[in-house]
């Protein structure tokens, strides 16, 4: 009950939203160098590329909204 109250009043982000935003921030800070970004994120470059595709990210457009 308290969690619902807090989420409603503070518009708290989900863990998934935070994860997606973090990926985008790292991509921007590394100038979309997926090798560097994957090192910062501590994930494989191939996994990062799959996530970029899955989330609909590109340098030119904003992420897909659900």
Alpha-carbon gap, residue 19 to 32, rounded angstroms: 17
pLDDT at 11: 78
The first and second tokens of residue 26, run together, are 């790292």
Could you report the per-residue pLDDT of 1-55, keeping only the tens digit for each?
556 555 566 778 999 999 999 999 999 999 999 999 999 999 999 999 999 999 9
Q: Residues 5, 40: contact at Cβ < 8 Å?
A: no
Sorted by where each begins, the domain ranges of the chain are 14-66
**pLDDT: is 66 or 41 the higher one?**
41
Alpha-carbon gap, residue 51 to 41, rounded angstroms: 12
The CATH code belonging to domain 14-66 is 1.10.10.60
pLDDT at 35: 98
């Amino acid at each position: 009950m308290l969690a619902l109250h807090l989420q409603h009043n503070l518009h708290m982000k989900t863990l998934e939203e935070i994860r997606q935003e973090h990926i985008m921030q790292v991509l921007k800070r590394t100038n979309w160098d997926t090798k560097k970004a994957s090192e910062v994120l501590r994930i494989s470059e191939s996994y990062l590329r799959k996530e970029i595709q899955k989330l609909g990210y590109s340098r030119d457009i904003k992420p897909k909204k659900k």
